[in-house]
């Protein structure tokens, strides 16, 4: 509500009133001397006569020359008045008190820092709106004498309570960001209200630059002893693949005329080693393990041993198996001996190593199998004679060892080659 004022407003009443009347009619066309009243506005008027009797009224409405009043204000009593008695807008104690209490709020636009209301009631409603940021946002200045409303807007995983503008504070609640995922070197524990992130991998943090230094995780080793599929895991940086080919199978003895020579061992498997960056790897890679070559003898027929199979890691690198030992047959290539199998070799690796060749045999003492590259598998021992007893040639040792040569009739006692191997070292 707003108490209103005008200067030098004085007139007379047009007709008499009783002590109970709440309407006063002023002398013709003098109502305009007094304030125009909006909703909730008022002013204080004073009635007086020739006897200096006084009554103060509160004028709550004016329509032209007709006033709506509340009688007997500020300690005066409602009385009867006659036409021609004076009516004036005088300074009164209540008028000053109301103005000092903030009732006299002027019409000032929001853009100029006001409420945009021209009366006290509307001004208070507007002030209440400005103090309710949860509904109407915050009033902020964005230019010279210019203000606008702003709100804090919630997003994914965030809820906002803007408060009531009086006692309530703005609250921003995190409901989604705490969906943290732990990884290598980081563990997460606790409730959503109090998460604990434990660092097991970060060695240093630079607060000025934000640089984080992590420890190097030890490589993870995946061993393939049978063909299968390798799968790339998240966070992988690179792999080092090592492949070993299978060992060759050995031969049994060979005879030409009255000449008999023991069998030769199979060659050792080859080796390849290659570093492969994550970007060059497929989501999966096919792993092939070479199968060891078989020893030779079918019935009473002595034959050459078969070659060991090739091991590979996808198309990135491979290693062939050792070739089989060849029996003595008096013809090329074994014109004078049983020929030992040659070693397999690595292909397309950063490092490629050939397996060992099995020795050629010129006697009745069978030859040993060839050693796999880098010693991954020893060759099997050749058959031996002890008195009248003959031992069997032994199989190649894992991984990639060639089989040991044989020396017997009617039985196959040469050794088979050992299967290959693939090692995948994973770096994160």
Query: Domains, the chain, ranges and CATH?
Result: 2-100 (2.40.30), 110-174 (no CATH), 218-428 (no CATH)
| pLDDT value at residue 111 | 46
| pLDDT value at residue 252 | 86
| pLDDT value at residue 135 | 59
Contact 61, 34 (CB under 8 A): no
Q: Which of 287, 274, 186 is nearest to 232 (CA)?
A: 287
Q: 47 has which bridge partners?
A: 55, 87
Contact 175, 157 (CB under 8 A): yes
| pLDDT value at residue 162 | 63
Q: Which of 8, 7, 26 is nearest to 17 (CA)?
A: 26
| pLDDT value at residue 380 | 92
Report helix, strand or coil for 311. Answer: strand
Is the pTM higher than 0.75?
Answer: no
> Does residue 317 have a cis bond before it (omega within 30 degrees)?
no
CA angle 396, 402, 408 (to 5 degrees): 80
Residue found under tokens 């029996």: 327
Mean pLDDT, each 10-residue run in order, the chain (428 residues)? 89 95 95 93 95 95 96 95 95 87 53 51 56 57 60 70 60 62 62 60 63 70 97 93 97 78 93 97 97 78 87 98 89 69 97 96 86 94 78 91 82 86 95
| pLDDT value at residue 112 | 45
d(CA 126, CA 204): 55
Q: Which of 260, 285, 267, 243 is nearest to 378 (CA)?
A: 267
- φ and ψ at residue 120, rounded to 5 degrees: -65, -40
- Cβ neighbours of 52 (radius 10 Å): 6
């Amino acid at each position: 509500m707003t108490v209103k004022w005008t200067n030098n407003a004085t007139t007379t009443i047009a007709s008499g009133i009783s002590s109970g009347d709440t309407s006063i009619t002023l002398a013709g066309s003098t109502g305009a001397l007094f304030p125009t009243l909006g909703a909730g506005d008022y002013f204080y008027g004073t009635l007086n006569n020739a006897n200096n009797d006084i009554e103060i009224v509160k004028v709550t409405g004016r329509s032209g020359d007709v006033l709506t009043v509340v009688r007997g204000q500020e300690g005066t009593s409602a009385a009867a008045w006659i036409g021609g008695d004076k009516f004036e807008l005088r300074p009164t104690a209540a008028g000053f008190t109301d103005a000092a209490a903030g009732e006299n709020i002027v019409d000032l636009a929001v853009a100029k820092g006001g409420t945009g209301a021209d009366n006290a009631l509307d001004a208070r409603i507007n002030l209440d709106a400005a103090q309710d940021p949860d509904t109407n946002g915050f009033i902020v200045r964005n230019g010279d004498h210019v203000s606008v409303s702003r709100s804090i807007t919630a997003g994914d995983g965030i809820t906002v309570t803007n408060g009531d503008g009086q006692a309530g504070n703005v609250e921003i609640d995190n409901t989604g960001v705490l969906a943290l995922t732990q990884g290598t070197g980081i563990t997460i524990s606790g409730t959503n209200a109090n998460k604990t992130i434990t660092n097991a991998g970060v060695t240093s943090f630079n607060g000025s630059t934000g640089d984080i230094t992590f420890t190097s995780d030890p490589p993870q080793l995946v061993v393939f002893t049978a063909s299968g599929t390798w799968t790339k895991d998240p966070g992988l940086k690179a792999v080092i693949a090592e492949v070993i080919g299978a060992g060759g199978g050995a031969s049994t003895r060979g005879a030409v005329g009255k000449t008999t020579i023991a069998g030769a061992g199979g060659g050792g498997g080859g080796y390849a080693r290659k570093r492969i960056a994550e970007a060059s790897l497929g989501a999966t890679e096919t792993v092939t393990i070479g199968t060891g070559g078989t020893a030779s003898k079918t019935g009473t027929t002595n034959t050459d041993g078969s070659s060991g199979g090739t091991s590979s890691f996808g198309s990135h690198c491979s290693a062939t198996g050792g070739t089989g030992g060849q029996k003595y047959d008096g013809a090329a290539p074994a014109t004078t001996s049983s020929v030992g199998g040659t070693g397999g070799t690595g292909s397309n690796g950063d490092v490629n190593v050939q397996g060992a060749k099995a020795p050629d045999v010129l006697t009745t003492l069978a030859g040993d199998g060839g050693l796999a590259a880098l010693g991954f598998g020893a060759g099997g021992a050749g058959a031996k004679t002890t008195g009248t007893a003959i031992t069997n040639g032994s199989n190649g040792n894992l991984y990639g060892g060639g089989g040991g040569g044989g020396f017997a009739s009617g039985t196959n006692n040469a050794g088979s080659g050992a299967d290959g191997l693939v090692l995948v070292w994973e770096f994160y």
